[in-house]
Chain A
Amino acid sequence: MIELTHFQVLSGLLFAIGLYGVLARRNLILVLMSIELMLNAVNINLIGYSSFMNASESHRALGHVLIIFVITVAAAELALAIAIILRLYRNKSSINTDDINIMKW
C-alpha cells in the first residue's frame, strides 16, 4: 500500500534535485526549470497530505485548493521570469548567471 511517507520522500528527493539545479546551473532558463521542479515537489507533498490526513473533507479540500494556487503563481512567475530573461539577453547578450552581477555590491 502507498503510505504518506512515500509521498514525502519523493517530494524531498525532487525538492533536493531542484535545489541542486538552482544552485549549480549557470544558465538562467535552467535555473527557472529547476524552480518549477521545486514547486512540483511542494505539490506532491500537498496532495499526499490531502489524501492521507484524518480530517474532514473540507479541510482536505484545502490541499487541492492550494495546489491550484501554486500552479497559478508558478504560471505568473514563469511569464515574468521569461520576460526578465529575454530583456537581460537583449541588453547583455548573455544569460549566464556569472555575467549578471549589476546588483552585486
Chain B
Amino acid sequence: MTSLVFFYLACVVILSGGLTVVLSRNIIYAAFGLMAALAGVAGLFILSFAPFLALVQILIYGGAIVIVIIFALMLTKLEDFRTLSDHKHWPIALIASLLTLGTIVAAAFYTPVNLASRRGVDLSKMAHELFSQWAIPFEIASLLLLIALMGGVIMVRKTDSSDDK
C-alpha cells in the first residue's frame, strides 16, 4: 500500500515535469521540469528495487544531461524563446500523441503477460550478464561515446574557413 502511494507521488512528479517541458513558455522552467521528470523516473527505479539504476539516472541525466542542456540554452539567445510560440499545427500533434497513447494503453491491457510479484534483480547478477553476454555491445557503447565526444568537439570547433560568422 505504501509503495502505491510512492508510485503515485512519482507519477505526479514525472507527469507534471513532462507537461512543464512541453507547455512552458519559459525555457528555463522547461529545463527544470525535465530535471523533475528525470528525478521521478529515478524514484521509480528505487521502487523497482534497482538503486544502482536510480544512481546512474541521477548522475547522468540529472547531473550531466540537464546541465549540458542549460549550457546550450546559455550559448544560444535566450530572448527569442519567450516569444517563440508553438507550431500553428499543434492540434495535429495533439491528435497524433493521443492516438499513440491510445495504442500503447490498448496494447498494455490486451497483451497477455506471464506475471509474477514485483521483485528486483541482484546487482552482481546484472553485472555478470552485462560483462559476459553483453560485453561486446558494452564495448561498442564505449566506442560510441568516444566517437560522439570527438564528433561534438570537431563540429563546434571554430575553423579558419569562412563559414564562421
Contacts and interface: CB of A to CB of B under 8 A. Distances in A.
Interface of A: 1-2, 4-21, 23-27, 29-30, 32-34, 36-37, 40, 43-44, 47-55, 57-58, 60-65, 67-69, 71-80, 82-87, 89-91, 93-97
A68 B38 contact: no
A36 B67 CA distance: 13
A17 B40 CA distance: 15
* Binding site secondary structure of chain B: helix
Nearest to B124: A61
Interface in B8-66: 11, 14-15, 18-19, 21-22, 27, 30-31, 34, 37-38, 41, 44-45, 47-50, 53, 56-57, 60-61, 64-65
Contacts of A87: 155-156
B75 A86 contact: yes
B10 to A, nearest CB: 8
Contacts of A62: 129
Interface of B: 1, 3-4, 7, 11, 14-15, 18-19, 21-22, 27, 30-31, 34, 37-38, 41, 44-45, 47-50, 53, 56-57, 60-61, 64-65, 68-69, 71-73, 75-77, 80-81, 84-87, 89-90, 92-94, 96-98, 100-101, 104-105, 108-109, 113-122, 125-126, 128-130, 134, 137, 141, 144-145, 147-149, 151-153, 155-156, 163-165
Nearest to B101: A16
B119 A91 contact: no
Interface of A is mostly: helix
